[in-house]
């Protein structure tokens, strides 16, 4: 449904390389996640695929249409929910939805079945101005507007950024339901926990794809044993772990520091414990942990930087 072939984008006369020869494919009915931190190039990719931005190099198709030559067909085919709330703040909930239905030459009634589950949650506020809605409600309205012309592909750019945990969970449940209706979904997010909710993900950093696979395969491919370490002062712990020559990778993860050892066949923990005690650390905890997507991302990112 979506193919990108060495797609590139620069800004400021070529001085900012935002998207660097990105290639991937999204299959019909797939929930595909573009996962990466701020500035990774996610929005630039979405804007090119939705024909709002021209690529510098490379090509891409959406539902078989070329993003440059066939831009008009793509605009009729896709639904796009941009990262920033971009509906009309001075129009009411219902007026916004009516407006989007009208410009796509359809009506709310015609496609109500598709948005029903989402829209019923904001319908009690249908006369309220969009600008006066809460974050979660704005997001539901934006999704309803992106769906009202029954798109075959939905592009959602960071739909859950700045949204509370409950609304985030509800939102992903809505996406799963939309998937069962056969809609292909491309979603971007900086939240690593959301990556596991996608069928496949592309990890992106500085405009480059680091890995593309199912979340499980990405986690399974983690090559090292991973340990979580805790002590009273995480700051000194991190410094001392960085100075310890047998440690390979080392980064903070909540109240823990995640590390792996250069020699993965050896039993390194007793020696490390002795070293940390000698450095004056108290209440030390060392435990083996299963890597998550974030661990994989950081490892790939560090490799790329090196
Ligand atoms: N109009 C622009 N002019 C100059 N640089 C830009 C422009 N838009 C984006 N960039 C730069 O291109 C890079 C990629 O930005 P992009 O917005 O695509 O990333 P992103 O992953 O969506 O991050 P964010 O969530 O911060 O928008 C960043 O370095 C950004 O500063």
Q: Is the CB of 127 under 6 A from ligand 1?
A: no
Span 221-278, pLDDT tens digits: 998 899 999 999 899 999 999 999 999 888 888 899 999 998 877 788 899 999 999 9
Domain ranges of the chain: 2-219, 223-290
pTM for the structure as a whole: 0.90
Give the mutation target among 4, 34, 41, 46 for probing the ligand 1 site: most ligand atoms within 8 A of CB: 41
Which residue has its alpha carbon closest to ligand 1 atom 26? 38
Q: How many residues are there in the chain?
A: 306
Using CA atoms, how far residue 71 sits from 45, 151, 161, in Å, is 15, 15, 28
Q: Between 128 and 139, where is the model more confident?
A: 128
* Cβ of residue 162 lying under 6 Å from some atom of ligand 1: no
Residue 10 Cα to ligand 1 middle (Å): 10
Instruction: Tell me which fold the domain 2-219 belongs to.
Output: Rossmann fold (3.40.50)
How far is ligand 1, taken at its centre, from the CA of residue 171, in Å? 25
Does residue 103 or residue 166 have the better pLDDT? 103
DSSP secondary-structure letter at 132? G
Give Rg (Cα) of the chain.
Answer: 23
Please say if the pLDDT value at position 134 is more than 90.
Answer: no
Higher model confidence: residue 52 or residue 191? 52
Query: For residue 42, how far is its CA from the centre of ligand 1 (angstroms)?
Result: 8
Mean pLDDT lowest among 2-6, 208-212, 222-226: 222-226
Whose CA is closest to 179, among 52, 49, 33, 64?
33
The residues, any chain, with a CB within 8 Å of residue 274's CB and separated by 6 or more, are none
Nearest alpha-carbon partner for 155 in 224, 247, 86, 93: 86
- Give the angle subtended at the CA of 273 by the CAs of 271 and 276, to the nearest 5°: 110
d(CA 270, ligand 1 centre) in Å? 46
Give residue-wise pLDDT tens across range 16-61: 999 999 999 999 999 999 999 889 999 999 999 999 999 999 999 9
205 within ligand 1 shell (Cβ under 6 A): no
Residue with the smallest CA separation from ligand 1 atom 12 is 18
The answer, yes or no, to whether any atom of ligand 1 lies below 6 A from the CB of 38, is yes
Q: How far is the CA of 43 from the centre of ligand 1 (A)?
A: 7
Q: Report the CATH architecture of 223-290.
A: 2-Layer Sandwich (3.30)
């Amino acid at each position: 449904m979506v193919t990108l072939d060495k797609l590139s984008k620069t800004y400021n006369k070529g001085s900012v390389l935002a998207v660097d020869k990105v290639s991937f494919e999204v299959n019909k009915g797939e929930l595909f996640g573009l996962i990466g931190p701020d500035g990774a190039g996610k929005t630039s990719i979405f804007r090119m695929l939705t024909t709002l931005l021209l690529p510098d190099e490379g090509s891409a198709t959406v539902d078989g249409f070329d993003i440059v030559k066939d831009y008009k067909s793509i605009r009729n085919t896709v639904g796009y929910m941009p990262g920033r709330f971009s509906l009309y703040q001075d129009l009411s909930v219902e007026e916004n939805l009516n407006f989007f239905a009208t410009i796509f030459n359809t009506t709310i009634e015609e496609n109500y079945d598709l948005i029903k589950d989402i829209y019923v949650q904001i319908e009690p506020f249908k006369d309220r101005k969009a600008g006066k809605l809460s974050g979660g409600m704005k997001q539901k309205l934006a999704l309803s507007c992106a769906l009202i012309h029954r798109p075959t592909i939905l592009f959602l750019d960071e739909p859950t950024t700045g949204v509370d945990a409950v609304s985030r969970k509800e939102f992903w449940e809505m996406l799963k339901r939309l998937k069962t209706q056969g809609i292909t979904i491309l979603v971007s997010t900086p939240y690593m926990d959301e990556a596991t909710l996608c069928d496949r993900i592309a990890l992106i950093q500085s405009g480059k794809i680091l890995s593309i696979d199912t979340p499980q395969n990405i986690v399974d491919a983690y090559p090292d044993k991973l340990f979580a370490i805790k002590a009273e002062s995480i700051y000194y712990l991190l410094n001392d772990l960085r100075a310890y020559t047998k440690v390979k990778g080392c980064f903070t993860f909540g109240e823990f520091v995640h590390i792996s050892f250069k020699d993965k066949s050896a039993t390194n923990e007793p020696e490390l414990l002795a070293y940390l005690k000698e450095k004056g650390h108290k209440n030390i905890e060392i435990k083996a942990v299963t890597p998550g997507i974030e661990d994989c991302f950081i490892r790939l990112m560090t490799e790329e930087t090196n």
